[in-house]
Amino acid sequence: MQNILEVKNLKISFRTSGGTVKAVRDISFNLEKGKTLAIVGESGSGKSVTSKAILGILAGNSIVEGGEIIYDGKDLLKITEEEMCEIRGDEISMIFQDPLSSLNPIVKIGKQITEAMLLKNKTSRRDAKKSYNAMLALLRKNLLLSGEVCPEDILQDMDALHKAIAYSCSASLEKKKAVLPALAEAKTFFAGQYSKEAGLKYAKALATQVEDSIDRLEIVKDSFAYTLRHGLNSGIERYFAAVRNNPREEARFARQSAKREALIAKGKTADWKVRPKNVYDLEELKGNIVHLVERLEARYQQAITADAVDIAARAAAITNYLADKKQKMQFVLTPAMAKERAISLMKEVGIKEPEMRYNQYPFEFSGGMRQRIVIAIALSADPEILICDEPTTALDVTIQAQILELINNLKKERNLSVIFITHDLGVVANMADDIAVMYAGKIVEYGTVDEVFYDPRHPYTWALLSSMPDLDTKEKLDAIPGTPPNMIYPPVGDAFADRNKYAMQIDFEQQPPMFEVSPTHWAATWLLHPDAPKVEIPKIITDRIARMKQKAGEQDGE
């Protein structure tokens, strides 16, 4: 089967005031065309971070430390934001967890469904004709041609066409070039020694220069440029707060330690402990400030480089556009056409009387109906891949079943490839083709849906299955003890070891590799090592597997 998406050795971290959080730690998986891959795990396991990395919507403090996300022969981690905009929504779309946060409460449903369609198309034939004439006027002006010259004459002079396109590029790119020396100088300044007042003054001047380089009319905003002032000020405040507080903490720790040791030396009982030092690495805090500047510098350099390529690409595109304007006009999507398509989508996702409900607001819909609207928006551009990020968590149980059935039907009708993210294994039992079980930023078990449900091998998968109710469950469900580890300091060995009653000494010392159970089934647990002791699957799971097999046999008999 052909892979439509391949994730290879993906590593993602986040810079925070408390340290660097290792959110995704070297994961790999494939999504086959027309199949559903479920990514299952507790909150904080890295599921949503992975999906946001695929869609290119990670937070500004994220760090992609390595890996590839291959779609259509491209690494999505290395393409420009403009290229990603062509893919996001059109080819890869997402249904978010809470429909209320996905919809604008003061905009009518119809407009929200058609917005994405019209954003990436010409809105009317009149506007298309205006754009065409404006482009000709721009070319004639820059090439000093008379109004009588026809498009074919312009197209013959490709060098002049390139110059005209370059002229039409945003002037902010020239401002970005002018900022680069200042960014290079700022890295040296912030890495050196300076007072708080001097640092804040320097940051203010740099941020002002950067903000002057921003094109406020750009559709895709550069979040690094917009937030540089706040980021620099926050970083400088944190650094000098640590400069001031670290010595106090060191002194406090030394005093308390000396006092405790003196008591112990006198043979007295010290029934209190010394609170650990709350100190920060000054070099790391300073490095965080420099990193903000480095990321903006890299973004600006990328934009400048991409512009040179974009000039040639735009010239080729405009050449085709001008050479065959009548044909291009036929593919214009008008507002009326977009409305007709939106109503059709509303019918497809099960909304009754869509013509009337097209002009209603989100608050006039129930939770389940709002989620159907979000699904319609996600499907409006006919994507190839649909990412469902816990789309039923905010809904009650009966509505959950309807939404899951809807997604399953749409997948079959449209031949969609689906990534379904959830914390509940029970949700994906009848939906998924393959399941990746995630814990603490790593995939700990991977297999087909039958392999994971009928032959689970990792203790974490056992724990998830043991805590999953079904209609025939009579015994008490097992809660997973403890909490996930602090991913600022990820465990050396198996991250699940502290919560795993089957853990061995090696689980605390060394990360287990992926052991192959079958050509399509792997699990990262030392219990699969040939020298490991044999451990029986918990009885609650074997009983459930027996019931599932019995039901499957009865259905086959029918």
pLDDT of residue 89: 82
Task: Give the 3-state secondary structure of residue 142.
Answer: helix
Say how far apart CA 293 and CA 244 lie, in whole Å: 24
Average pLDDT on 28-48 reads 92
Q: Which residues of 239-276 are buried (b: 16+ CB within 10 A; e: fewer)?
A: bbebeeebeebeeebeeeeeeeeeeeeeeeeeeeebee
pLDDT of residue 286: 92
Q: Which residues of 55-80 are buried (b: 16+ CB within 10 A; e: fewer)?
A: bbebeebbbeeebebbbeeeebbebb
| Residue 20 near residue 46, CB atoms below 8 Å | no
Lookup: tokens for 222: 């550069």
Q: In what order do the strands lie in the sheet with 434-439?
A: 92-95, 385-389, 417-422, 36-40, 434-439, 442-448, 521-523, 515-518
pLDDT over 70, % of the chain: 82
Say how far apart CA 390 and CA 48 lie, in whole Å: 9
Q: What is the mean pLDDT of the chain?
A: 82
pLDDT of residue 325: 44
Task: Give the 3-state secondary structure of residue 11.
Answer: strand
Torsion-angle region of 489 (φ positive above 0: left; ψ -120 to 50: alpha; else: beta): beta
In the predicted structure, residue 160 carries a pLDDT above the cut 60: no
Lookup: tokens for 471: 């209609």
pLDDT of residue 186: 92
Tally of CA atoms within 13 A in the half-sphere of 470 that contains its CB = 16
Q: Residue 46 — very low, low, confident or very high, per pLDDT cuts 50/70/90?
A: very high
pLDDT of residue 550: 76
Say how far apart CA 420 and CA 38 lie, in whole Å: 5
pLDDT of residue 320: 59
In the predicted structure, residue 161 carries a pLDDT above the cut 80: no
Q: At what angle do helices 158-168 and 125-143 cross, to 10 degrees?
A: 110
User: In degrees to the nearest 10, what's the CA dihedral of 480, 484, 490, 495?
Assistant: 10
| Residue 476 near residue 557, CB atoms below 8 Å | no
pLDDT of residue 307: 65
Q: Residue 146 — very low, low, confident or very high, per pLDDT cuts 50/70/90?
A: very low
pLDDT over 90, % of the chain: 41
Say how far apart CA 383 and CA 57 lie, in whole Å: 17
Q: Which of 444, 456, 460 is nearest to 541 (CA)?
A: 456
Lookup: tokens for 45: 């396991």
pLDDT of residue 447: 94
Residue indicated by tokens 């902010």: 172
- Selected residue with higher pLDDT from 337 and 236: 236
Collect all residues with Cβ–Cβ distance below 8 Å to 280 and sequence separation of at least 6.
238, 242, 246
Could you give the C-alpha distances from 356 to 108, 225, 342, 376, 403, in angstroms and in order?
A: 12, 43, 12, 16, 22
List, for residues 443-479, the tens digit of each pLDDT value: 999 999 999 989 999 999 998 888 877 666 666 667 7
Task: Give the 3-state secondary structure of residue 213.
Answer: coil
- Given CA atoms 480, 483, 487, 489 in this order, what sign does their dihedral have? negative
Phi, psi angles (nearest 5°) of residue 13: -125, 170
In the predicted structure, residue 165 carries a pLDDT above the cut 70: no
Average pLDDT on 336-357 reads 88
Collect all residues with Cβ–Cβ distance below 8 Å to 522 and sequence separation of at least 6.
445, 446, 447, 514, 515, 516
In the predicted structure, residue 269 carries a pLDDT above the cut 90: no
Q: Residue 220 — very low, low, confident or very high, per pLDDT cuts 50/70/90?
A: low
pLDDT of residue 333: 66
Read off the DSSP letter of residue 476.
Answer: P
Among 275-279, 377-381, 423-427, 515-519, top mean pLDDT goes to 515-519
List, for residues 314-340, the tens digit of each pLDDT value: 556 555 555 544 344 334 567 887 888
Q: How many CB atoms lie within 10 A of CB 194?
A: 17
> What does the domain layout of the chain look like in residue ranges?
106-121+335-380, 173-308, 462-557
Collect all residues with Cβ–Cβ distance below 8 Å to 529 and sequence separation of at least 6.
512, 515
Read off the DSSP letter of residue 88.
Answer: B
Q: Which of 378, 448, 375 is nearest to 405 (CA)?
A: 375
- Selected residue with higher pLDDT from 393 and 20: 20
List, for residues 63-103, the tens digit of each pLDDT value: 999 999 999 889 999 998 888 888 888 889 998 877 877 88
Phi, psi angles (nearest 5°) of residue 92: -125, 120
Say how far apart CA 109 and CA 129 lie, in whole Å: 29
Say how far apart CA 457 and CA 32 lie, in whole Å: 23
List, for residues 181-209, the tens digit of each pLDDT value: 999 999 999 999 999 999 999 999 999 99
Lookup: tokens for 544: 């459930």
Q: Residue 129 — very low, low, confident or very high, per pLDDT cuts 50/70/90?
A: low
Mean pLDDT check: name the lowest of 19-28, 91-100, 131-140, 491-500: 131-140
- Selected residue with higher pLDDT from 155 and 79: 79
Say how far apart CA 434 and CA 447 lie, in whole Å: 6
| Residue 499 near residue 481, CB atoms below 8 Å | yes
**Antiparallel, parallel or unpaired: β 434-439 and 442-448:** antiparallel
Task: Give the 3-state secondary structure of residue 137.
Answer: helix
Cβ contacts of 253-256, under 8 Å, gap ≥ 24: 253/277
Which residue intervals of 482-525 are DSSP H helices? none
